[in-house]
Copies of this chain bind each other. A is one copy, B any other.
Amino acid sequence: MTILDTGIKIVRNVGRFTFGQGAVSGVKDLVASRRTDDHKHAVFLIDDYFQKITDTASSLGALPGDSVQFVGTVDEPTTQGIDALVAKLHGSGHDKPATVVGFGGGITLDTAKAVSNLLTNGGRAADYQGWDLVRVAGVHKIGVPTISGTGSEATRTCVMTNLDTGLKLGMNSDFTVFDHVVLDPSLTKSVPRNQYFYTGMDAYIHCIEALAGSYRNAIGDAYSRETVNLCRKVFLGDDMMNDELRSDLMVASYLGGCAIATSYVGVVHPFSAALSVVFGLHHCVANCIVLNAMQDFYPGAHAEFRKMIEKQKVTLPKNVCANLTDQLRTDLIAATIKHEKPLTNALGENFRATLTDARIISLFEKM
């Protein structure tokens, strides 16, 4: 395989990050430091899992007059959902907040990024799906991941689906990057084991894909290699959820996010995206289901993945593509092959010679 340069890219880093057990206790001060007479109130977008833990918002520094919104995680973000949230903030007079705090998993972090951009840019979420369409900086935003793996805390995108058009695409923009990220491994202690595994594997999978691709550069490779090493340590370790390994996985997620800025994914993500679009499966579990069927394309990673899943006693949904209709087959093929850039990265421009319709369907049928 010929290794091609990804081209020169300007990469926007997360402004600041705080790392360590208990780091979340510093969010309060961060929020307080952003309040001014003109921007008194803050917005807290909190994963609805925490709705049952009554003092979550106040522990993050929420005061009377602030807006606290719980973000549902049954479905991944939609442009319509984001628009509704922004309208609500306008309605309650929280359209010029001191800061927007996103506290949760990838869904909540992506929601915080999108809301922050819309509050200053106006218009609707769908207007900014694409590359560098956001015109001005969003409201100051703080990201606090409570599960590790998506890398959303470090990336310049926030993935959303437009329910009207079916378009699943983020606001790819330097303005989408968090101003401050708080990485506190103690927050991931109560994540269910399966979910912890699926989400953590998101970091592993996109870095495995990047390192196997033909479009490469030295800094993306470095971030990806260390991310993969950390994931190996975590998921081949005795207990992936002990204190040390939760800390390592949080670092893997952040560095994996940094890797995304200068690299491309491969064959797994297009198939995974198709599972999400056609069957509504969440991104991380869909990735795992796909990698589990990708022995031919990623033999090393597939074998390692099998070892990890057995070692950690994790279960994977089975037969998600049982009983496909002709329409579903057509939809799955279309939703896979539209991801030309990653497929070219993995298989070359002539990727359809390898990924024939029949081959694609036989892969889905293994999932």
Contacts and interface: CB of A to CB of B under 8 A. Distances in A.
Contact of A219 (B13, B19, B223, B229): B19
Interface in A332-349: none
A5 interface: yes
A225 B248 CA distance: 13
Interface stretch (A21-29, A91-99, A119-127, A270-278): A21-29
Contacts of A18: 8-11
B13 A19 contact: no
Is the interface on chain A under 10, 10 to 19, 20 to 34, or 35 or more residues? 35 or more
A286 to B, nearest CB: 27
A299 interface: no
Query: How many subunits of this chain does the assembly comprise?
Result: 2
Interface stretch (A50-58, A204-212, A250-258, A305-313): A250-258
A130 interface: no
A162 interface: no
Given A8-B19, A23-B8, A222 B217 contact: no
Interface string A189-223: 00000000000000000000000000001110011
B14 A13 contact: yes
Interface in A278-319: none
Nearest to A14: B13
A20 B15 contact: no
A351 to B, nearest CB: 25
A232 interface: no
A297 to B, nearest CB: 26
Contact of A8 (B12, B14, B22, B230): B22
A13 B17 contact: yes
Given A13-B14, A217-B20, A225 B222 contact: no
B10 A251 contact: no
Contacts of A12: 15-16
A222 B218 contact: no
B218 A19 contact: yes
A9 B20 contact: yes
A9 B18 CA distance: 6
Nearest to A19: B219
A252 to B, nearest CB: 8
A247 interface: yes
A262 interface: yes
Given A5-B21, A225-B226, A218 B251 contact: yes
Given A19-B219, A183-B219, A222-B252, 17 more contacts: A8-B18, A8-B19, A8-B26, A10-B17, A10-B26, A11-B16, A11-B19, A13-B14, A16-B174, A19-B262, A217-B247, A218-B247, A222-B230, A222-B248, A223-B226, A225-B229, A226-B226
Interface of A: 5-23, 26, 174, 183, 185, 217-219, 222-223, 225-226, 229-230, 244, 247-248, 250-252, 254-255, 262
